[in-house]
Every structure is written in structure tokens, then in C-alpha cells.
Amino acid sequence: MRLTPAMAALAACALALPASGQTGAKGDPAKAQLTATQVCAGCHGADGNSPTPTNPNLAGQHAAYITKQLMNFKSADGKAAERASPVMNGMVVALTPDDMKNLGAYFAAQAPKPGTAKDKDLVVLGQKLYRGGDMGRGIPACAGCHSPNGAGIPAQYPRLAGQHADYTVAQLKGFRSGERANDPQKMMRMIAAKMSDREIQALAEYVAGLR
């Protein structure tokens, strides 16, 4: 049987997903509502649909993924946080592990609003990379880890469908430069390092319109 790009990517995801990626007991969305609507809302919207293209949509995102990212933003035992952000590193200081699980559950329960792509030419290139990758250059199909419809695979691989293109571009460039380094087995850093600015923009445009 010939291994397709999507199958190869899915196999790579399975190997990269550590058992510790699971975050344990589910959170209580009701306990996070006050924080979400009065603190998080300024950047991400009260319902997790961010009004600002540079800030990510959280509505419908996997609860375990959100919890993991919040944990990664927080420094512990004198060590630097796994994920650097001048804003988020400060926002999580007072959050407990239970608070993070509750916030994950809250935003996961919110209905995501569909996004739209703006550049049709870029969408064509983005679709090609997302669905088939470029195996000659070692770029696997994004669909293998993030699902054909952009729904993602919790807890390590997030929902991408409808995500702001500006935010997606910033994250891919962050992985490419090494500025963002909380991906399992350095997978996203290795992939993004092989991508051009145009390819990154194309993928961002394509996933923005996925639904």
C-alpha cells in the first residue's frame, strides 16, 4: 500500500503525541465564565470569537489544547515559560491549573463564527499544501494532524478552521524562527522552516475559510 502525504502526516502526528498531552479531568465552564467575559474578552471576545485579527479565536477550540497553552504560558519553579508572550505570560500568573481547565472548557463550549478567505490565488496554493503537502520538500499535509476540515486532534493539534489569517501567519513564522517552541517533537518548527512567506500566507488564507 502506498503511503499518501495525508497518511504520512497522520502517522507522524501519532508518533509525536505524548501520553502526557492529556490534561486530566474536565474543567467546569461555569466557573470560568466571569474570568472569560471580564478578563479574556478584551482580546478574545466574550464568546471566544476574537474581534482582533492578531488575537486568536478560541471559540470551539479543544479544551485540552487551550489548557495546555495556558500552562505553557506560565513559568514554574523559576523556569521560563515554554511559550513566550508579553501579554499572556502576565495574564496567567494568577491562574491555577483548575482555572486553566475551566477556561478551556468554557471556550470549547462556545460556538465559533465562520471565517473567510480574502485572496483566491493564495487559497489555491494553501489548499494544495493543506491537503497534500509537498513530500519532495518534507512538508506533510496539514490535514493529517489538523483534520481535513480543520477540526484538529486534541490535545496537541488545534482546531484551525476559521482562525484569523493574521494570527496563523504570526504563529507559523514564530515556529519558523524558533520564537515559538512548544510544539511536540519540534514538528511545527521543522515544517515551518521549509516554508516560504507566500506559502505561510497561503495556508493562513485557506484555513481562515475552512468550516
Confidence of residue 156 (pLDDT cuts 50, 70, 90): confident
Confidence of residue 110 (pLDDT cuts 50, 70, 90): very high
Residue whose C-alpha cell reads 507566500 in the numeric block: 198
> What are the pLDDT digits (tens) for 96-108?
999 999 999 999 9
> What are the pLDDT digits (tens) for 46-95?
999 999 999 999 999 999 999 999 999 999 888 899 999 999 999 999 99
Distance CA(48)–CA(97), nearest Å, equals: 20
Q: What Cα–Cα distance (Å) separates residue 71 from each residue in 65, 152, 188, 192?
A: 10, 19, 19, 23
Confidence (pLDDT) at 100: 98
> What are the pLDDT digits (tens) for 181-201?
999 899 999 999 999 999 999
Distance CA(145)–CA(152), nearest Å, equals: 6
Reference 188, options 5, 6, 14, 16; nearest CA is: 16
**Domains, the chain:** 27-108 (1.10.760.10), 115-208 (1.10.760.10)
Question: Above pLDDT 90, what percent of the chain?
Answer: 83
Residue whose C-alpha cell reads 477556561 in the numeric block: 103
Confidence (pLDDT) at 175: 98
Q: Which residues pair with 153 in a beta bridge?
A: 157
Confidence of residue 127 (pLDDT cuts 50, 70, 90): very high
Residue whose C-alpha cell reads 502506498 in the numeric block: 2
H helices of 60-109, in order, are 63-73, 88-91, 97-108
Confidence of residue 13 (pLDDT cuts 50, 70, 90): low
Contact (Cβ atoms closer than 8 angstroms) between residue 205 and residue 173? no
Q: Alpha carbon 139 to chain centroid distance?
A: 18
Burial of 193 (0-12, 13-18, 19+ CB in 10 A): middle
Confidence of residue 39 (pLDDT cuts 50, 70, 90): very high
Question: Above pLDDT 70, what percent of the chain?
Answer: 89
Confidence (pLDDT) at 24: 58
Confidence of residue 133 (pLDDT cuts 50, 70, 90): very high
Confidence (pLDDT) at 25: 74
Mean pLDDT, the chain, whole residue set: 90
Q: Coil, strand or helix: which one is 134? A: strand
pTM of the model: 0.89
